[in-house]
Amino acid sequence: MAAQPDSSTSRKLIAIYPGSFDPITNGHLDLIGRASRLVDQLVVSVLSNERKQPLFCVQERLEMVREVITPFPNVKVDSFEGLLVDFASKHNATLIVRGIRAISDYEYEWQMALMNRRLRPDIETMFLMAGEAYSYISSHIVKEVFRLGGGVSDLVPPQIEQHLKNRIHGARS
Ligand code: PNS
């Protein structure tokens, strides 16, 4: 009798990497690179949270992520609203990836992970340590420094720095 394919090994491991990405930083990209090596497919999942008054609208954030994930063939990007676990199911994802920087991230991440597990016990959350070079940066701090005239060229990809220039300094001129 012909050997049957083993469904446990042939199933693709699909993970989502959710966040606001307003805008995507080198810290996010470092995490995307490392997570993409652990799974078959990674879906960067941009929260459509206009209530938070983002600097970039969701379409712009999607486009910016698309511009910088080209080195990673198994990474794609999509936006979502509503429950993260519902979005994960839509993509057949069984894993949520989140980055942890300092210990101060832990409490919020712990709450989210346990709530997501309560909602969908079959979806696991995996935490990766942020790259040490990026462990203090966030989209928020990048925007603040840029607005106040500080350099951010080592904190975001060049395309994103250009988008920041257009949005922040373009708006001033
Ligand atoms: O990068 P951020 O802004 O810290 O990401 C937060 C995000 C998008 C992961 C979180 O706000 C989220 O999952 N929102 C979707 C709403 C949801 O599912 N809430 C229940 C779990 S707490």
Each domain of the chain, given as residue ranges in start order, spans: 14-136
Model confidence at 161, pLDDT cuts 50, 70, 90, reads very high
Q: Quick check: 93 and 43 in contact, CB under 8 A?
A: yes
C-alpha pair distances (Å), 37 with each of 5, 118, 141: 24, 28, 28
Q: What is the CATH number of domain 14-136?
A: 3.40.50.620
pLDDT score of 172: 59
DSSP 133: G
pLDDT score of 112: 98
pLDDT score of 169: 85
Q: Any residues with Cβ below 6 Å from ligand 1, and which? A: 18-20, 47, 83-84, 112, 115-116
Catalytic residue among 45, 139, 143, 163: 139
52 among known catalytic residues? yes
pLDDT per residue as tens digits for the range 95-147: 999 999 988 899 999 999 999 999 999 999 999 999 999 999 999 999 999 99
Report if pTM > 0.75. yes
CA of 55 to the centre of ligand 1 (A): 18
76 among known catalytic residues? no
With a cut of 70, say whether residue 91 has pLDDT above it: yes
What is the residue-averaged pLDDT of the chain? 93
Instruction: Give backbone dihedrals phi and psi of 120, rounded to 5 degrees, phi first.
Output: -145, 90
pLDDT per residue as tens digits for the range 22-68: 999 999 999 999 999 999 999 999 999 777 799 999 999 999 999 99
**H/E element holding 1?**
none
Residues β-bridged to residue 126 = 97
163 among known catalytic residues? no
Catalytic residue among 28, 98, 143, 163: 28
Q: Quick check: 168 and 147 in contact, CB under 8 A?
A: yes
CA nearest to 19, candidates 68, 77, 91, 103: 77
With a cut of 60, say whether residue 8 has pLDDT above it: no
Q: Where are the alpha helices (DSSP H) in the chain?
A: 7-10, 26-36, 58-68, 84-90, 106-119, 139-147, 158-164, 170-172
Probe target for ligand 1 pocket from 61, 98, 112, with the most ligand atoms within 8 Å of CB: 112
Count the neighbouring beta carbons within 10 Å of the beta carbon of residue 37. Answer: 9
